[in-house]
Amino acid sequence: MGDEMANLSGDNSKILLDESEMPTQWYNIIPDLPEPPPPPLHPGTHEPIGPDDLAPLFPMGLIMQEVSTDSYIDIPGEVLDIYRLWRPSPLIRARRLEKALDTPAHIYLKYEGVSPAGSHKPNTSVPQAYYNQVEGVKKLTTETGAGQWGSALAFACAQFDMECEVWQVAASFEQKPYRKAMMEVWGATVHPSPSDLTEAGRAILAQDPNSPGSLGIAISEAVEMALQADTTRYALGSVLNHVLLHQTIIGEEALLQFAKVDEMPDVLVGCTGGGSNFGGLSFPFLREKLAGNIDPTIRCVEPAACPSLTQGEYRYDFGDTAGMTPLMKMHTLGHSFIPDPIHAGGLRYHGMSPLVSHIYELGLVEAEAIGQTECFASGLQFARTEGIVPAPEPTHAIAAAIREANAAKEAGEERVILTALCGHGHLDLKAYEGYIAGQISDYDHPADKIAAAMESVPVL
Amino acid sequence: MGDEMANLSGDNSKILLDESEMPTQWYNIIPDLPEPPPPPLHPGTHEPIGPDDLAPLFPMGLIMQEVSTDSYIDIPGEVLDIYRLWRPSPLIRARRLEKALDTPAHIYLKYEGVSPAGSHKPNTSVPQAYYNQVEGVKKLTTETGAGQWGSALAFACAQFDMECEVWQVAASFEQKPYRKAMMEVWGATVHPSPSDLTEAGRAILAQDPNSPGSLGIAISEAVEMALQADTTRYALGSVLNHVLLHQTIIGEEALLQFAKVDEMPDVLVGCTGGGSNFGGLSFPFLREKLAGNIDPTIRCVEPAACPSLTQGEYRYDFGDTAGMTPLMKMHTLGHSFIPDPIHAGGLRYHGMSPLVSHIYELGLVEAEAIGQTECFASGLQFARTEGIVPAPEPTHAIAAAIREANAAKEAGEERVILTALCGHGHLDLKAYEGYIAGQISDYDHPADKIAAAMESVPVL
């Protein structure tokens, strides 16, 4: 081992940027697309909605970003100051994993686990809290799947002295008790969802008192509560345009980091739940691809148990289970779809970001679905070679990267692979314990469940 | 808030080093001290021990470091390659905490939570595994208190394809189940201590079947097992000279980082359990102080429930509970002392590193003890301002830093404070939940327990 290892010396494992190099604008991909995404529709009238329709839920600062046609939007100074607590995030060259795989591929990971909440989510929770606070909002409500988003919003609210109330999907509330504690450390209040605090929650509990919950149900609860007070608004951790916009700082930094090592990715793979981590990493690269500067393959990776892109339909559907949100044209499994309780709670969402769905329909990105046992095996191999224990969500991205690295070996190609390691798995260790003990399996192909849930999609 | 926050812009929150700037030597403070520390003694003969006496427990590479009189020791290339996965670690300027405290002090923290195991411990677990592997050792045994050291050794063994068996103090095994899972992710086997696998464990269980355990007991168990096989050795996560030596990379990096911002600490505070985090940060600064280049106050901070420096005696005592280790001259509460189950499990040790004890006796460093409720309050304030949730151990250091910052405010002085944020608290969140729920209190002053335990100290 000695001589081989010594060869690694002299080459950085991490490509870092100084705080002074941190991008100061978010990138809005919409003006650069060959056609704009279809508009959201009012749930009652089925007419396109305007900014005013969203005002009960979101502050105008975010609504204007949601519908913006500007290519770049300045990041406010206060947001930059908070970003600096952990950004720029490192780009990691996974040399020890490459060695273990004996692959000629170069595997890079943009690591967002360095944030206080341990994922990419604070990139948007901080500006969301900021724009709300500027408009006098005192409290934010939200849902959380794996707990990553709820933690991130709790952290952001602590920075702006705002209240934060979180509905955590019941399956995750059970699996990840430390997430609740983390949210409380930052001052938030946390409820398991479905709860008896809302009409939406009570309706689900009446049907199934042991419901494992879903992101769709938790969204209904948080939205319902936000509508009950003038100084309360709702915050969404993924799916919407402004959320993906905030996340583009990931890809902008990664472009600067690749320039430093004089490489560019041939393949970019990112895990997709609501699409914010994937969009954040990939959109700046897609801009360069659309401009003809680079030509990477860009691919979404979703869980086999919740395959909205690969098995869902591209239709107008609700973002939540109770049908309270606007109708959005997106890849959906049906808003009544309740995914099996896989450990990647952040990917258990029936729909896909309308913007990512649109870009997929345009043929600009690919998609594949991977089962959770292959993902955990990949996560474990990563932890044992590179040290970092990945969250269950990015193990999907790592599994896809390892597939690519093996294909490169097969082909004898020096392929450059980029993926997003969007969070650490410190609060998901029980899932790994279960995997090691052989207690985790892939769920059956969810075709029947999907067919049933698709009947809940409105016919326009 | 707006205008005040904007003033933070333009000043880095993190002082980073490139991997190319990482120190390539460890610093041995012993030759620079006015007199050498007293030698360890054989537990039977009470004569000074030589390298051969330690050979059943440690590889010769580490034993020679333990007794070295060289000022600098080269870090092997393979160890540097693994360090590069997370090092150099950031030096954080806690601007938002300073603002919350309204203090003129500058508060810097050297943050070791970026390592895979989440603490400073891999700085020594990696070279310890390396030197053992070079000499053909196949398996390492160890104890762990908070679980930080066990995790660190599990990670290191995974890097060198070695087996790892860990005895985790029972109180911590109960409080921190995720630590066991983390060790298993890296391939280790974990037992609660006292266990029925060893004579030492069985003896304790016979007296108290519900013993919460202690580091001293767990050390006895791990040492006993290491002595039973030729290719098995024992690894210690603190206390010994070679461990403190490996940790000096922390202070060496911090010196380079302070040079970048053209400041130097007026006060350095670090938490002490076995002394490795404190020694690692402070020894390079102490070298500069002894050379007359700087003049900081250097202070150990220990838990009020386990006050080895402030209330223990400086005497020869055993490092473990069963009396199997050499006798070391150190500040001790008596090797039979079992500390109350405070959450800072890594600080629950009856003794203090002989080297730190010696330096304290020489009057080169100070010490204070702080109760755990003040520490948790300080940790919570830190988390809500700076984002990072600290482990319970460094909340002692943060509490001391906040005391200093408040004193600076009182005095109207621009004091520069440095402390070690030696680990994150992601796996300690249940402790914070308990604190927030008002379920954590300081334990009574342990004078009676100390007096009783001091009777276990041998009279030479």
pLDDT digits (tens, 9 = 90+) for A47-71: 999 999 999 999 999 999 999 999 9
What is the per-residue pLDDT for B334? 95
pLDDT digits (tens, 9 = 90+) for A198-218: 999 999 999 999 998 988 899
Beta bridge partners of A119: A423
Beta bridge partners of B368: B301
pLDDT digits (tens, 9 = 90+) for B183-208: 999 999 999 999 999 999 999 999 99
Closest Cβ–Cβ partner in A2, A19, A115 for B14:
A19
Residues of A in contact with B383 (CB under 8 A): 116, 158, 185-186
Closest Cβ–Cβ partner in A182, A383, A386 for B429:
A182
**DSSP alpha helix (H) spans, A39-121:** 51-54, 60-66, 77-83, 95-101
Tokens 């002490």 correspond to: B272
Distance CA A264, CA A268 (A): 10
Instruction: Calculate how close chain B gets to A60, using CA atoms only, in Å.
Output: 18
- Res. B419: pLDDT tops 80: yes
Closest Cβ–Cβ partner in A8, A122, A427 for B426:
A427
**B interface test, pick of A11, A15, A19 with most B CB neighbours within 10 Å:** A19
Distance CA B214, CA B327 (A): 18
CB atoms B185 and A380 under 8 Å: yes
Residues of B in contact with A427 (CB under 8 A): 178, 426, 429
- Res. B267: pLDDT tops 70: yes
Closest Cβ–Cβ partner in A81, A161, A388 for B116:
A388
State chain B's mean pLDDT as an integer: 94
Closest Cβ–Cβ partner in A20, A386, A389 for B85:
A386
CB atoms B380 and A185 under 8 Å: yes
Q: Is A9 exposed, middle or buried (0-12, 13-18, 19+ CB in 10 A)?
A: exposed
Half-sphere exposure of B85 (CA within 13 A, CB side): 27
| Mean pLDDT of the region B96-117 | 97
Q: Which domains does chain B have, with CATH numbers?
A: 80-118+242-454 (3.40.50.1100), 121-237 (3.40.50.1100)
Residues of A in contact with B435 (CB under 8 A): none
Closest chain B residue to A379, measured at CA: B185
Residues of A in contact with B388 (CB under 8 A): 85, 116
Per DSSP, the three-state class of A160 is coil
What is the per-residue pLDDT for B5? 39
What residues in chain A have per-residue pLDDT under 50?
Answer: 1-10
Both tokens assigned to A426: 């410190």
CB atoms B178 and A177 under 8 Å: no
Q: Is the dihedral of CA B262, B268, B272, B274 positive or negative?
A: positive
Banded pLDDT at B9 (limits 50, 70, 90): very low
pLDDT digits (tens, 9 = 90+) for B208-264: 999 989 888 999 999 999 999 899 999 999 999 999 999 999 999 999 999 999 999
Closest chain A residue to B426, measured at CA: A426
**What is the signed CA dihedral for B403, B404, B408, B411, rounded to 10 degrees?**
70
Instruction: Calculate how close chain B gets to A58, using CA atoms only, in Å.
Output: 21
CB atoms A5 and B80 under 8 Å: no
**Cβ(A216)–Cβ(A319) below 8 Å:** yes
Half-sphere exposure of A212 (CA within 13 A, CB side): 15
**B interface test, pick of A16, A376, A427 with most B CB neighbours within 10 Å:** A16
Q: What single-letter amino acid sits at B130?
A: Y
- Res. B324: pLDDT tops 90: no
Closest Cβ–Cβ partner in B114, B159, B433 for A184:
B433
What is the per-residue pLDDT for B146? 81
**B interface test, pick of A182, A261, A380, A421 with most B CB neighbours within 10 Å:** A182
What is the per-residue pLDDT for A80? 97
Distance CA A390, CA A256 (A): 24
What is the per-residue pLDDT for B2? 38
Residues of B in contact with A426 (CB under 8 A): 118, 178, 182, 424, 426-427
**φ and ψ at A438, to 5 degrees?**
75, 20
- Res. B58: pLDDT tops 70: yes
Helices (H) and strands (E) in chain B, counts: 19, 15
What is the per-residue pLDDT for A427? 94
- Res. B363: pLDDT tops 70: yes
- Res. B7: pLDDT tops 70: no
Distance CA B121, CA B311 (A): 26
Helix B148-159 / helix B177-185 crossing angle, nearest 10 deg: 10
Residues of A in contact with B1 (CB under 8 A): 78, 133, 160-161
CB atoms B426 and A118 under 8 Å: yes
Closest by CA to B388, choosing from A352, A19, A117, A177, is A117
- Res. B6: pLDDT tops 80: no
**B interface test, pick of A84, A164, A261 with most B CB neighbours within 10 Å:** A84
| Mean pLDDT of the region B337-349 | 86
CB atoms B9 and A432 under 8 Å: no
CB atoms B9 and A115 under 8 Å: no
